[in-house]
Amino acid sequence: MPLLSASIVAAGFLALCTHATKCPNSPGFRDQCLSLANNVVINGASSLSSEFVEANSTLFFPDADPSCGRTSQAVSVNLCRLTAQVATSSRSSIRLEVWLPEQWTGRFLSTGNGGLGGCVQYEDIEYAASLGFATVGTNNGHDGMSGQAFLHNPDIIEDFAYRALHTGVVLGKDISRAFYGKAHSKSYYLGCSTGGRQGFKEVQTFPEDFDGVVAGAPAFAFNNLTSWSCHFLPLTGPSGSASFIPLDMWPIIHQEVLNQCDALDGLVDGILEAPDLCNFDATTLVCVGGQTQGCLTQKQAETLRSIFSPLLDEEGSLVYPRLQPGAELTGAPQTYFTGQPFGAADWFRYVIFNDSAWDPFSLIPDDYVLSSHLNPFDIETWKGDLSAFKQRGGKLLHYHGLADGTISSDNSPRYYEHAAQEMGLTPQGLDEFYRLFRISGMGHCGGGPGAHAIGNQKGNSASLDPDENVLMAIVRWVEEGIAPDRVIGTAYVNGTASAGVDYKRAHCRWPYRNVYPGIGDPKDLNSWHCVLDKPLSGQAA
């Protein structure tokens, strides 16, 4: 199927009214905004409208799909909001949001999506707009968190894989130019999870779209990730089966993980700085001497060993890395180990098998291979050669929480090493444009017991200092040439921002890891050191 967005753009997708073409008189920002929808023509668009949104007001979305959980959004700055439904084919379309702040910095930004959704992430759009970015977001080609819209409709799958976001970027830039009367100065991307994958897809396939990309916990290796996330159901079985681990055992399992691995970074504090070094032994949890409470049967211990082991296919080839130790109490049990199907099962049901009656309990290793081979629209997002992005001066900030209970943090260094091999670069070479930061104690895109507030979302931001905010860090890297050496995260007292700061910690860029040498206050970020387990090429130990 052709790149529809590219052919549309080449054909003149937008007929724009700019200041140079003498738009109707709009003496004020409000009036200019209200006339915007009448001065922009988007081929294939319907329901095109624009409205002025006043600072400190609340937008309501009465028609939003309930599964998105976004019925309203507080807005902190004056802005112009343009919305449209835009056809991407004869049987697919995207819902487009473009937010244009009155106090524009000249920057453009696109947000991403999450899961299999279908949900405009208004909170991310507002975050960027509040910082002066002309900001765009879409519903990724369908509404809601279900994958049901994919059934027998490759066009909607194509939107989800790449086209919705790329089309939104192209349109958003042109709308921004029409509204402000000049092109943006720099273009940025901010996304996590599916949004992280979308960011990497842009870097790999549309390197001209962005000058700077912040991609968190990326769902790349997408087909294999869905195999991994769905294999837990037949592995554990339903609640009550011999292989099922009761949910009340997971805090006990977590404590045993800490007993075995917490000291590896030099400090016993409930946070693993390098879970990749943790070789967890489940034997210590097996019931002995007639014990029946607070322990595992041999069958349950086998399940636990499989959870903490890489997923392999029938031939012994890697499908996807293990769930990293330390993530067993930050959402993984509630996501994967309930004995109920996970949302990603919809990918197999509606895309791989095109069968709404498909049973997630029936997943077998042959299905991993089938999904990987089908790879619709290269949704795997695993191309390692990022040369085109590098050559045009693009910068990529990649982060991943080490307590992520949804997407294994082991997969991010795996991609980094893949890119290094494909491009023939050492870490020093990659550092010129691509840096990976592992955020200890951070769950999936936020939360967790560690210093996880790094500015990747408005609700996960403690500061706008580029040293403490990944969005501002990518801006500084692109516009001033100052690359982030560390990302400083903030941990709050009892995990609550209103309770005040507990401590800050500087998270290291890969392949360094954080170590506390036993000297100084461990809550002082300067007491920690980024170390290498082996020297980089050309660098002394």
What does the angle CA 222 – CA 469 – CA 405 come to, to the nearest 5 degrees? Answer: 35
Q: Is 152 a catalytic residue?
A: no
Within 10 angstroms of residue 313's Cβ, the number of other Cβ atoms is: 16
| Options 166, 184, 400, 444, the catalytic residue | 444
Query: What is the rounded distance in angstroms from the CA atom of residue 166 to the CA atom of residue 153?
Result: 19
| Options 193, 371, 440, 461, the catalytic residue | 193
DSSP codes of every residue in 332-385? HHHHHSSSS--TTHHHIIIIIS--TT--GGG--HHHHHHHHHH-GGGTT-----
Query: What is the rounded distance in angstroms from the CA atom of residue 108 to the CA atom of residue 179?
Result: 13
Region at 386 (left for phi over 0; alpha for psi -120 to 50; beta for the rest) = alpha
The DSSP output letter for 145 is S
Q: Is 67 a catalytic residue?
A: no
| Intra-chain end-to-end CA distance of the chain, in Å | 51
Cα-flanking dihedrals φ and ψ of residue 280, to 5°?
-70, 135
| Options 155, 262, 269, 404, the catalytic residue | 404
Cα-flanking dihedrals φ and ψ of residue 508, to 5°?
-85, 155
Query: What is the rounded distance in angstroms from the CA atom of residue 312 to the CA atom of residue 515?
Result: 32
Query: What is the rounded distance in angstroms from the CA atom of residue 510 to the CA atom of residue 261?
Result: 20
> For the chain, how many helices (H) and strands (E)?
17, 19
Q: Is 404 a catalytic residue?
A: yes
One-letter amino acid at 139 equals N
- Give how far Cα 95 sits from Cα of 136, 141, 287, 361, 523, Å: 11, 7, 54, 34, 45
One-letter amino acid at 200 equals F
Task: Give catalytic residues, as residue numbers.
Answer: 193, 404, 444
